[in-house]
A and B are shown apart, each in its own frame.
Chain A
Amino acid sequence: DAGITQSPRHKVTETGTPVTLRCHQTENHRYMYWYRQDPGHGLRLIHYSYGVKDTDKGEVSDGYSVSRSKTEDFLLTLESATSSQTSVYFCAISIAGGVRTGELFFGEGSRLTVL
């Protein structure tokens, strides 16, 4: 267990509202990631972070922003939610210092429904 918690675990919101998902880790790992999981698409990387205030875009970053002001917290924000952002969102960390050298450990997921 890599000590990852996501909140909220379930959220229903309306189109146009802002939404923030939180990922919290207890072990001060440097690399953190946000993925979304959709049927037929597997997991797609939204954003990742390699340290406090250091973030980069993944393959599906449009409509999402992230912040990492503390090592332990990585926030994913949907500024104005759309129905296409209905998905299950997974936070992950890499324990070996980077995706290129190690495996990912995932949180339990946050199911977001945008009506």
Chain B
Amino acid sequence: AQSVSQHNHHVILSEAASLELGCNYSYGGTVNLFWYVQYPGQHLQLLLKYFSGDPLVKGIKGFEAEFIKSKFSFNLRKPSVQWSDTAEYFCAVNLFNNNDMRFGAGTRLTVKP
């Protein structure tokens, strides 16, 4: 079945540590890729997206993600996390010419001050 997998359920880091959250998908066609963030008590907001072109995309708040087509992956990175990055992060995939956006189960990030 087509799916989106996020490898880590809960990640705990200290401030200034580097972050990498994994995301893999199993769709075989052309895809659009997204990372969303949900801060405590809030709704989801877009961090970054990839449609085509440069596989390394930059988003808000210093986040970036790399699309590796051969690995069906779209990992999220940040060189140095802050306490304010504490949130839940969702990877999402949308098939080209399809209105169905599929989300991963989410990774909860806790950043210790």
Contact = CB atoms under 8 A, between A and B. Distances in A.
B98 A99 contact: yes
Contacts, number: 60
B99 A107 contact: no
B95 A100 contact: yes
A42 B103 contact: yes
Given A41-B105, A42-B90, A42-B106, A103 B99 contact: no
Contacts of A107: 43
A111 B49 CA distance: 28
Contact of A106 (B34, B44, B94, B95): B44
B46 interface: yes
Given A41-B105, A100-B32, A100-B94, A106 B99 contact: no
Contact of A58 (B44, B51, B100, B104): B100
Nearest to B4: A42
B68 interface: no
A103 B90 contact: no
Interface of B: 4, 6, 9, 32, 34, 36, 42-46, 49, 51, 90, 92, 94-106
